[in-house]
Amino acid sequence: MKFIVVTGGVMSGLGKGITAASIGRLLVDLGYRVVPIKIDPYINIDAGTMNPFQHGEVYVLKDGTEVDLDLGHYERFIGIELTGEHNITTGKIYRRVIEKERRGDYLGQTVQIIPHVTDEIKSWIREVSKKKDAEICLIEIGGTVGDIESMPFLEAIRQMRIEEREEDFLLVHVTLIPLDAGGEQKTKPTQHSVKELRELGLYPDVIVGRCKEKLRESTKRKISLFCDVEVEAVISNEDCDIYEVPLKFREEGLDKVILSKLKLEKRRESKDWEEFVKRMKELREEISIAIVGKYVDVKDAYISIREALKHAGVAVGCRVNCVWIDSEKLENQSFNLEYDGILIPGGFGKRGAEGKIRAINYARTRDIPFLGICFGFQLAVVEFARNVCNLDANSAEMGKGGHCVIDILPEQRNIKELGGTMRLGEIEVTIKPGTLIHKLYGAEKIRERHRHRYEVNPDYIELLESKGLVFSGYSDNGRRMESLEIPTHRFFLATQFHPEFKSRPLAPSPPFVGFVRSALEFKKSKKC
């Protein structure tokens, strides 16, 4: 087993996740089986209760584990499906250790960070690597070197480096190379970051320098000299589209450095990723999609939506310009949403809900292509019930009374634990033949990921369908509605599930492809 560890220095948010995912892509293209593990040093058990404003999107894996958005990058770049065991948090590790202590597994020992916590970390990493039959385990340690929360994990990695053969271990350190007022690339932050890493007993084999522009050879030589790495192992990672990063790394020779240091051979060379990026860069058509949500000030809160639109755009042949619109601002003022399509993403709570409902009404009454996801699906039901069925309709989540066309199921009402009422993970959905969503998927059974609490109230389904709303997908033997559409509309589709979580650059999500294609046709029709 080979281990590649990615750490970060200077500041957070440099792109360690993209770096790790891109390394994974390079290795997959070279013919190797890769298993990624993300280490998040926070004490939370998972990312499920985290505020999107602070932490960005909560990504959902197929087993229902709520995780950091970097695992979404791993799935998209490497082309695999992960589970909760691929995400280690301080909370998970400490829970395991405490459970063992309570059972008496430590036979009366004083339980300490070293060796008990670090042993648990190493054991978890090795167990997952072995279980997944991987050849290379790719480990990203969240946060920044020097953070007190990261210390047990870095110590565990230090121990692993001693325990593994030299040719089985590679440390990649990602740092910031800022530009001063005169445009000079400054290496001092990198020097200090590497110094701090070395004080912990860790020595980088590769340094990836994040910079607004390509690293100059003089900058690479300086980093090599002061940080004790070969010049060839100082890799430039200048600003570019995230899907270009694997190709930039290949140009920089990172794949050759990895193969050399880990004593591996090139098995094959796939061109699929390169062809995808080429098509993406050659796009000439452009459409504008309004994304109406309440976390629009933090674009990472909807990162999977954004990437799914990009994947679909490449498949259809157009660039997708995302226009971010705050749903709260639509609640009590006039507005114009004359875009090529309108998308309502998932979310929780009543704040901004009325603005989303107004946006849905705008799309439905003006025949603008519409895609609703999760909460967007539920609010599409509310909008239709209000304005077509003439009901005083609401969702129980909005707490306004009236006809709760969206409600929580009876068996969930007495569950008090936060998250206990959530429906999470991949679930089989049955699709009605002849519907729009059936044409998009080309199948009557699909599996998609969920993250929601409320459902369409079965008491109102017959009335809603009698007025022209079609529930085209369902699960749980017909108890839960999974998708809706309006056949008389140009493109009006909403799903209770999150199709964006399974969208990949080389395998775009069918609902997004259909939506983007309809938006492009709509734009062209306006020119006629």
DSSP output for 312-331: HHHHHTEEEEEEEEEGGGGS
Residue (of 378, 342, 359) closest to 491 by Cα position: 342
Burial classification of residue 388, based on how many CB atoms lie within 10 Å of its CB (0-12 exposed, 13-18 middle, 19 or more buried) = middle
Known catalytic membership, residue 500: yes
Return the structure tokens found at 126: 């090795």
Looking only at the bridges linking them, the beta strands covering 34-40 and 136-141 are parallel
Known catalytic membership, residue 286: no
CA distance 379 to 347: 11
Per annotation, catalytic residue among 374, 404, 426, 482: 374
CA distance 387 to 166: 68
Known catalytic membership, residue 196: no
Alpha-carbon separation of residue 309 from 380, 497, 499 (angstroms) = 20, 16, 11
186-217 as b/e, with b when 16 or more CB fall inside 10 Å?
A: ebeebbebbeebeebebebbbbbbbbeebbee
DSSP output for 359-379: HHHHHHHTT--EEEETHHHHH
Chain centroid offset of residue 134 CA: 22
Burial classification of residue 463, based on how many CB atoms lie within 10 Å of its CB (0-12 exposed, 13-18 middle, 19 or more buried) = middle
Alpha-carbon separation of residue 442 from 79, 434, 445, 515 (angstroms) = 21, 10, 9, 15
Chain centroid offset of residue 517 CA: 23
> Which positions are catalytic?
374, 498, 500
